[in-house]
């Protein structure tokens, strides 16, 4: 082969490999480093594997640059499919703010939004996908249009309150904006649903004959609560995780019912549901809190955003759950700076290699 042709071929192959590694393989390399947490007392068949993510904030027709939109969606799609292929979860929970501009879109734009969401985050038939509403999906409480609420419920199969039973564990998915505490239809419906679930679980906890859920007879176990807002807290200053908000943002006081649930809304949902663990999103940062409401002890996890638009190091959680126990692993995704540095270093190595070929006359 002529020397020039060989060099050109090697350069093209080198560039193709760099593109393949930095835009595809790197997600697998990072995702592979995280694994499902082990449960001590549960046999493999009884463990539900849940992949939890939040705040994907897909850009809509109004905000952001098209290139930013394209880039972030590519990154999230690659990361999501790498996680699904590597970890094969039984269920995926998306904790709200799927869309950035859901509340502003008309029906046609929203339909296209939903289609894009399912295209970017595909799951195999063996994996279930459940979502909860975020304020960016339908608006904050006072700005929710009836139609915006209705279409989210219909197209994403996400009622204001959902009670799921998966591998014997109870999950309650709640629309946070419905815990405002006033007499709006959505709020009244949410409270009624939560009270009904509370009664059913309470009866089941006292007598096993009341533990039939969806045709299955189960033993009682405390439910897992999934929603968008954090529970009542006055700021993120109580968060000590390494991915908590940076200072001084961490000490900024929360506006209740906007940044977190009100004290009253939190008391209502906790006293009724008595969750064993709570997952939320909304802040885009990590936080782990130990709560004690009377005799109800539980941990609350704030799940950081899954989008590179919201943080340089997006995260997700792998949660192993059985009716008796659960364990959580928080996993990272490649940082943007790492991806850029890797591409630059690989390009530099390719240039040096080609230059050496030239000087050695190969």
- Answer yes or no whether residue 309 interacts with Zn ion by CB under 5 A: no
CA distance 187 to 311: 32
Q: Identify whether the C-beta of residue 194 lies closer than 8 Å to the C-beta of residue 272.
A: yes
Which residues from 233-292 bind Zn ion, rule CB under 5 A? 282
Task: Give CA–CA dist 118/101, Å, rounded.
Answer: 16
Among 60, 134, 223, 334, binds Zn ion (CB under 5 A): 134
CA distance 269 to 222: 13
Between 98 and 339, name the residue whose CB sits nearer to Zn ion. Answer: 98
- C-beta of 55: minimal distance to Zn ion in Å? 7
Q: Which stretch binds Zn ion (CB under 5 A): 39-47, 131-139, 149-157, 212-220?
A: 131-139
- Closest CB to Zn ion among residues 75, 135: 135
For residue 166, count CB atoms less than 10 angstroms from its CB and return exposed for 0-12, middle for 13-18, buried for 19 or more: middle
Q: Return the number of other C-beta atoms located less than 10 Å from residue 43's C-beta.
A: 8
Tell me which of 73, 97, 180, 236 binds Zn ion, using CB under 5 A. Answer: 97
**Which of 276, 284 has the CB closer to Zn ion?**
284
**Closer to Zn ion at the Cβ: 135 or 162?**
135
Report how far residue 79's alpha carbon sits from residue 245's, in angstroms, rounded to the nearest whole number.
Answer: 23
Binding-site size for Zn ion (CB under 5 A) equals 4
Residue 245 in contact with residue 236, Cβ under 8 Å? Answer: yes
The yes or no reply on residue 135 touching Zn ion (CB under 5 A) is yes
Q: Kindly indicate which of the ranges 16-24, 99-107, 128-136, 237-245 contains the residues binding Zn ion, using the contact rule CB under 5 A.
A: 128-136
* Residue closer to Zn ion (CB basis): 86 or 262: 262
Q: How far apart are CA 203 and CA 226, in angstroms?
A: 22
Q: Which residues bind Zn ion (CB under 5 A)?
A: 97, 134-135, 282
């Amino acid at each position: 082969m002529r020397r020039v042709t060989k060099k050109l071929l090697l350069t093209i192959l080198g560039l193709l490999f760099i593109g393949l590694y930095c835009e595809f393989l790197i997600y697998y390399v990072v995702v592979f480093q995280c694994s499902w947490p082990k449960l001590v007392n549960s046999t493999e068949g009884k463990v539900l594997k849940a992949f939890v993510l939040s705040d994907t904030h897909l850009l809509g027709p109004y905000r952001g640059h098209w290139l930013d939109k394209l880039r972030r969606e590519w990154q999230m799609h690659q990361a999501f499919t790498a996680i699904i292929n590597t970890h094969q979860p039984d269920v995926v929970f998306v904790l709200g703010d799927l869309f950035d501009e859901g509340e502003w879109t008309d029906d046609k734009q929203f339909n296209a939004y939903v289609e894009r969401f399912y295209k970017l985050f595909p799951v195999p038939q063996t994996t279930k996908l459940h979502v909860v509403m975020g304020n960016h999906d339908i608006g904050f409480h006072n700005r929710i249009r009836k139609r915006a609420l209705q279409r989210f419920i219909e197209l994403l199969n996400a009622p204001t309150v959902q009670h799921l039973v998966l591998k014997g564990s109870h999950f309650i998915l709640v629309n946070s904006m419905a815990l405002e505490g006033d007499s709006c239809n959505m709020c009244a419906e949410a409270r009624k649903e939560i009270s009904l679930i509370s009664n059913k679980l309470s009866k089941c906890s006292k007598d096993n004959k009341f533990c039939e859920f969806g045709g299955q007879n189960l033993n009682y176990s405390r439910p897992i609560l999934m929603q968008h807002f954090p529970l009542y807290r006055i700021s993120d200053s109580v968060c000590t995780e390494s991915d908590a908000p940076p200072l001084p943002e961490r000490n900024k006081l929360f506006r209740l019912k906007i940044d977190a649930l009100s004290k009253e809304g939190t008391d209502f949902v906790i006293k009724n549901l008595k969750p064993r663990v709570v997952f939320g999103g909304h802040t885009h940062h990590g936080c782990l809190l130990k709560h004690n409401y009377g005799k109800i002890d539980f941990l609350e996890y704030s799940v950081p955003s899954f989008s590179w638009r919201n943080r340089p190091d997006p995260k997700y959680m792998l949660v192993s759950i059985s009716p008796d126990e659960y364990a959580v692993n928080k996993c990272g995704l490649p940082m943007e700076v790492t991806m850029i540095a890797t591409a630059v270093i690989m390009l530099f190595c390719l240039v040096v290699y080609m230059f050496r070929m030239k000087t050695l006359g190969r």
